[in-house]
Chains A and B, each alone.
Chain A
Amino acid sequence: MQRQVALIKQSLFDQGYLDDQFMELEELQDDANPNFVEEVATLYFKDSARLINNIDQALERGSFDFSRLDSYMHQFKGSSTSIGASKVKTECTTFREYCRVGNAEGCLRTFQQLKKEHATWQDRRGLGRQHVGPSKERDK
């Protein structure tokens, strides 16, 4: 089972979903905080869900407030960079470039891609957690 988890994680690195920053977080995990990475990841997915919802609502309104969108995406990029979510971070950067030049279509297209990358990582993380087994942390 641990091997399955390791393979899932390796695939996330190989396909560019995760970068070296994620390994830095793993190095911080110790006996005092054995679930540190899981806790940070949970925090990230909770925060990113909020940001995705905010951006979705802003885009659905139809009037593009690029300054507000850029602000949301700045936060999203910051979190993604800190956790090592490489592909999501790249899409955040692209989205912000489109905001900068006022390209609404580019923003919409990039946001769809970002949600796809984000969902893929979240799904694979869920697979990994299923293999590990039930955890008190998961229900928080």
Chain B
Amino acid sequence: MTRDKDDEVPNLAESKLTALVVDDNFINQSIHHKLLDRLGITNDVVCNGKEAVDVHCSGRNYDLILMDMDMPIMNGIQATRRLREMGIESKIAGVTTRANEVERQEFMEAGLNDFQEKPLTISKLLSILTNLNFYVQTS
């Protein structure tokens, strides 16, 4: 799905969506945080799967989780499985550079609702939000 540069970036602040960025890479954390900010989505950032699980154990909950696959301590597949075992029903979108079919399938089977290849862009993020029924494109 491509987006013209002239297309306005939608502001979803009114929908009061919340998101969690789970990524061990500081560059990706910064970019994904900014992408979500730009769309008006309040978001937190954690560095690995264990921190994602811990933040949920502390009682926080999010509408959307952007989950990287390769992370130290607890990777995205392990973290997704764990969150689902805990009964977390948030929408989880896997975001990774690993795109071979076997790895993607394993990640999806862990409990993802959607999957996008890095690097994330506004268009890709809007695609995730559309696929997960958080946003309806009008064109």
Contacts and interface: CB of A to CB of B under 8 A. Distances in A.
Interface stretch (A4-12, A40-48, A123-131): A40-48
**Category for how many chain A residues contact B:** 20 to 34
A81 B118 contact: yes
A43 B25 CA distance: 10
From DSSP, what is the main secondary structure of chain B's interface residues?
Answer: helix
A113 interface: no
Contacts of B121: 21, 24
A99 B86 CA distance: 38
A82 B27 contact: yes
B27 A27 contact: no
A25 B25 contact: no
A30 interface: yes
Interface string A25-39: 101101011001001
B119 A47 contact: no
Contacts of B119: 21, 24, 81-82, 84
Interface stretch (B31-39, B73-81, B106-114): B31-39
Interface of A: 21, 24-25, 27-28, 30, 32-33, 36, 39-40, 43-44, 47, 74-75, 77-79, 81-84
7 contacts: A24-B121, A43-B27, A47-B27, A78-B25, A78-B97, A78-B118, A79-B27
